[in-house]
A = this chain, B = another copy of it.
Amino acid sequence: MDQFRQPIGTRAGATGAGRRIYDLLRGQIADGTLPPGAPAPSTRALAAELAVSRTTVTAAYEQLAAEGFLVTSAGRAARVASALSAPAPATAAGTPRLASCLPLSRFGRRLADIGMPAFSDAEPLRFDFRYGAVASRDFPTLAWRRAYQAELLRQQDGLCYAAPEGDPALRRALQGYLRRARGLACEPGQIVVVNGSQQAIDLCARLLLDAGDAFALEDPGYLMARCCFEATGATCLPTPVDEHGLDTARLPQDERVRLAYVTPSHQFPLGGVLPVGRRMELLQWAQRHDAWIVEDDYDGEFRYGQRPIDTLQSIDTDGRVIYVGTLSKALSPQLRLGYLVLPAELVPVFRQAKRLADRHAPVLEQRVLASLIESGAYERHVRRMRRENERRRAALLDGIARFLPADAQVSGTAAGLHVVLWLPSLRPRDEAALAAAARKKDVGVYPLSPLFAMQRSQDRPRPPGLVLGYASLTTAQILEGMRILGTIIAATAA
């Protein structure tokens, strides 16, 4: 509490001379020229010697004293502090300890063993059917910029931490959007805004799973969700998928199961739409096992032909379904905006977890999105994107029909921003080779196998498959990409 008697701060750092004096003495203390307890040169002598003002020297001494290198007391010459024993010689300094020797948590150690898909920030290829990418020219740049400027200038009061569950205006806007677009009825109070669906999944993993528990996952399914859940130490129980999505008859009866992660509106990656009968079976299964259901509606906005199917949450009467929505597909995966619609009883603990995780989502972006939804600009944009992607999908199917083998088949064309291409004329092991060969020709196609948790046994043999995302490409790129792929397949099959 002696801060009132602070030295008159005459900025040691401000003058080059002061800085030189500071460095000189720190150097001499470090190399032992000035050993612990030794008196520092008198300020008068040093000032004369270096031809600088005594004030400058004094300021440098004050800095050194403030940092504990010098001990000063009224009327006595400054001395080098005595408690300056350096830490034990750092043999370990440059040489990192082996990861296996690092004192990490069990979670930290598990991360090393999780088969997470390698992240590549390589430039997109010329004809890149990378799933999850969207075209930057599709982004509503002008509307977003206008709204962002408005919100930036609207920043009024003191800027302090905002509500963990998200901006109230955005949560109201999302409630309306979900009712209009997805037939999902909820209260704003059930909505928690997060940094993309990945954080929604991570919060579910942290709050609902423990090591020793188990979770049901679609097989094939979404790898990043599987990694999140497995990182808790829980066991993955892969549940087979057919053309209608999750095969609910084969849901695990394991008593350890606490949660099922599903993509009912457009199964990832195979694209099936879960029929209502299976939805009821899934809900009954969850009730029997007292399990949660995480419903990831990752591209529910993009449905061609029929009206979007009702969400699982809409028919859940038992408060077990956690709905996950994202803006990554309709706007941009780089925004990192998504949301949860929670059973009322889960809201407090998710709110608390979001607050501990990172306090809240960025406020400006939340308000920009809220204003775009309120003005109707967001839904106009989504409709435009749906038409845009329907054109791309048509071009893809056209290109496949024109350039690929006649027995090539496609799954998951009813919705979403990708399809799965099956190539019965090739051998399963050709999958990776094909993708590699395509890459050499600037075409990005992605093998299906890594998305399977179980390597399929003889009872369900399958041809090689490729995941083809088309949301970031022009129809011309799509056609040319398929033409090139056709030539590669011909060469591979030969």
In the docked arrangement, what's the CA distance between A310 and B68, Å? 12
A359 at the binding interface (Cβ < 8 Å): yes
In the docked arrangement, what's the CA distance between A290 and B39, Å? 7
A105 at the binding interface (Cβ < 8 Å): yes
Contact between chains at A318 and B92 (CB < 8 Å): yes
Contact between chains at B130 and A160 (CB < 8 Å): yes
A293-311 interface (Cβ within 8 A of B) = 304-307, 309-310
Contact between chains at A103 and B290 (CB < 8 Å): yes
- Known: A136-B155, A139-B155; 12 extra A-B contacts, CB below 8 A, are A3-B412, A4-B409, A7-B305, A12-B306, A13-B307, A88-B318, A93-B318, A102-B345, A106-B210, A119-B164, A130-B160, A334-B363
Contacts of A159 in B (CB 8 A): 133-136, 139, 332-334, 472
Known: A87-B280, A280-B83, A357-B357. A67 touches B345 (CB 8 A): no
Contacts of A52 in B (CB 8 A): none
Contact partner of A333 among B144, B161, B278, B422, CB < 8 A?
Answer: B161
A388 at the binding interface (Cβ < 8 Å): no
Contact between chains at A92 and B198 (CB < 8 Å): no
Contact between chains at A111 and B352 (CB < 8 Å): yes
Contact between chains at B85 and A280 (CB < 8 Å): yes
Contacts of A2 in B (CB 8 A): 243, 255
Identity of the chain B residue whose Cβ is nearest the Cβ of A331 in the assembled complex: B159
Contact between chains at B119 and A163 (CB < 8 Å): yes
Number of this chain's copies in the complex: 2
In the docked arrangement, what's the CA distance between A194 and B145, Å? 24
A365 at the binding interface (Cβ < 8 Å): yes
Contact partner of A67 among B63, B208, B304, B309, CB < 8 A?
Answer: B309
Contacts of A357 in B (CB 8 A): 198-199, 202, 357
Contacts of A344 in B (CB 8 A): 96
Contact partner of A3 among B157, B316, B411, CB < 8 A?
Answer: B411
In the docked arrangement, what's the CA distance between A93 and B198, Å? 27
A275 at the binding interface (Cβ < 8 Å): yes
A355 at the binding interface (Cβ < 8 Å): yes
In the docked arrangement, what's the CA distance between A348 and B99, Å? 9
In the docked arrangement, what's the CA distance between A158 and B128, Å? 9
Identity of the chain B residue whose Cβ is nearest the Cβ of A148 in the assembled complex: B148
A494 at the binding interface (Cβ < 8 Å): no
In the docked arrangement, what's the CA distance between A284 and B104, Å? 20
In the docked arrangement, what's the CA distance between A278 and B210, Å? 40
Most central of A1, A309, A316 by chain B CB within 10 Å = A1
Identity of the chain B residue whose Cβ is nearest the Cβ of A93 in the assembled complex: B317
Contact between chains at B155 and A207 (CB < 8 Å): no
Identity of the chain B residue whose Cβ is nearest the Cβ of A37 in the assembled complex: B287
Contact with B along A146-177 (1 / 0, CB 8 A): 00110011011111111110000000000000
In the docked arrangement, what's the CA distance between A364 and B251, Å? 42
A376 at the binding interface (Cβ < 8 Å): no
A32-65 interface (Cβ within 8 A of B) = 38-39, 41-42, 62-63
Contact between chains at A195 and B195 (CB < 8 Å): yes
Contact between chains at A66 and B163 (CB < 8 Å): no
Least distance between A317 CB and chain B CB atoms (Å): 3
In the docked arrangement, what's the CA distance between A116 and B85, Å? 39
Contact partner of A90 among B99, B307, B318, B355, CB < 8 A?
Answer: B318
Contact with B along A65-106 (1 / 0, CB 8 A): 011110000011101010111111110110011010011111
In the docked arrangement, what's the CA distance between A411 and B4, Å? 8
A369-408 interface (Cβ within 8 A of B) = none
In the docked arrangement, what's the CA distance between A387 and B86, Å? 36
Contact between chains at B77 and A3 (CB < 8 Å): no
Least distance between A54 CB and chain B CB atoms (Å): 12
In the docked arrangement, what's the CA distance between A276 and B87, Å? 12
Identity of the chain B residue whose Cβ is nearest the Cβ of A107 in the assembled complex: B206
Contact between chains at A116 and B358 (CB < 8 Å): no
Least distance between A6 CB and chain B CB atoms (Å): 6
Known: A227-B356, A334-B159, A346-B102. A411 touches B68 (CB 8 A): no
